[in-house]
Structure 1
Amino acid sequence: MTETTMSEPHLPPEISEYIVDLLRNELDTLERCCLVSRSWVPRTRKHLFADIKFLYSDDLERWKRTFPDPSRYPTHHTHTLTIGCPEVVTAADAQEGGWIRAFSNVTRLEVLSGLRDLYGSEVSLVPFHGFSPVLKSLRVASETFPCVQILNLACSFRFLEDLDLAQHMMGVGIIGRDRTVFQPSTSPVLTGTLRVYLPGRMGCVTRRLLNLPCGLHFRKLEFSCYRDDNLRWMRALVVGCSNTLECVDIECCVSIPLAQKDPWTASIDLSKAIKLKEVVFRSKTLHVNWLVLALQTITSEHRCLHHISIHVHFRPFFIDDPVNVRQTVGEEIYRQWMDLDRILVRSWESYGIRPKVVYSEAGGEKETTCIGSLLPEITERGIIELVDSVEPCWYRQIY
Structure 2
Amino acid sequence: MQWALRLTFTKTAMPLALPPEIIDLIVGDLHNEPTTLKACCLVSKSWVSRTRRHLFARVNFGCAGSSIDSWMKAFPDPSNSPARYTRSLCIHGFGVVSTNVCAWIHSFRHVEHLSVNTSVWRRLHGGSLIQLHGLSPTLKSLRLSSFDTPISQILCLICSFPLLQDLSLRSAFANDNDKWASPSTSPKLTGSLLLNDENLSVTRRLLELPDGLHFSGIRVRCRAEDLDSKTMTDLVSKCSHTLETLSLGLLNGSHLPPPLDLSGSVRLKCMKFGWAGSGTRWITTTIQTARSEILQQITIYLYDTWFVTAEETSREWYELDGLLVQLWTSRSILPNIVCWNDPKKLVPSLLPELTRRGFVRDKGGFVMVE
Asked if TM exceeds 0.5, the reply is: yes
| Shift in Å, 1:235 | 2.6
Deviation, 1:132, is: 0.8
CA distance in 2, matches of 1:161, 1:7: 47
* Matched residue count: 356
SS of residue paired to 1:386: strand
| Letter paired with 2:37 | L
Specify every segment of 5 or more residues in structure 2 that has no aligned partner in the other structure, as ranges: 1-11
Partner of 2:82: 74
2:156 partner amino acid: N
2:138 is equivalent to residue 134 of structure 1: yes
Match of 1:163 in 2: 167
Amino acid at match of 2:135: F
Q: Which whole-Å CA distance do the structure 2 matches of 1:12 and 1:390 have between them?
A: 55
CA contact (8 A) 1:355 1:383 kept: no
In the alignment, what sits opposite 1:224?
221
Q: Deviation of residue 216 (structure 1)?
A: 0.7
Q: CA deviation at 1:248?
A: 0.6
Q: C-alpha distance in 2, partners of 1:13/1:196?
A: 45
Q: Which among 345, 363, 374 is matched to residue 350 of structure 2? A: 374
Name the residue aligned to 1:206. Answer: 203
Partner letter of residue 271 of structure 1?
S
Shift of residue 15, structure 1, vs aligned partner? 2.1
Say yes or no: does 1:43 pair with 2:35. Answer: no
Distance (whole Å) between structure 2 residues aligned to residue 9 and residue 145 of structure 1:
53
1:40–1:116 Cα change, 3 Å: closer
Q: Distance in 2 between matches of 1:273 and 1:104?
A: 37
Instruction: Return the offset for 1:88.
Output: 4.5
Cα distance per residue 1:257-310 (max 9 Å; x no partner):
44xxxxxx62212211121121110001131011111111123xx232211110
CA change 1:107–1:391 in 2 (3 A) is farther
Q: Write the deviation string for residues 166-193 of structure 1: whole angstroms up to 9, x where unpaired.
A: 13xxx53xx3x42122222121110011
In 2, distance between residues paired with 1:87 and 1:194? 29
**Structure 2 residue matching 1:309: 3-state secondary structure:** strand
Distance of 1:378 and 1:155 partners within structure 2: 45
Matches of 1:244 and 1:162, distance apart in 2: 14
- Could you tell me the TM-score, scaled by structure 2's length? 0.88
Question: Amino acid of the residue matched to residue 103 of structure 1?
Answer: F
User: CA–CA distance in 2 between the matches of 1:192 and 1:6?
Assistant: 50
Equivalent runs, 1:80-99 vs 2, <5 Å: 80-84=88-92, 88-89=96-97, 91-94=99-102, 98-99=103-104
Q: CA deviation at 1:206?
A: 2.4
Which residue number in structure 2 is paired with residue 296 of structure 1? Answer: 288
Equivalent of residue 336 in structure 1, options 316, 324, 332: 316
Pick the aligned partner of 1:267 from 231, 251, 259: 259
CA RMSD of aligned residues (A): 2.5
Match of 1:278 in 2: 270
Scaled by the length of structure 1, the TM-score of the pair is 0.82
**Post-superposition offset of 1:121:** 5.5
**How far did residue 11 of structure 1 move?**
3.8
CA distance in structure 2 between the partners assigned to 1:140 and 1:107 by the alignment? 14
Between structures 1 and 2, the one with greater helix share: 1
Matched residue of 1:311: which SS?
Answer: strand
Greater mean alpha carbon deviation, residues 267-276 or residues 35-44: 35-44
Q: Secondary structure at the match of 2:106?
A: helix
Q: Identity, % of aligned pairs?
A: 38
Out of 145, 150, 161, the position equivalent to 1:146 is 150
User: Does 2:296 align with 1:306?
Assistant: yes
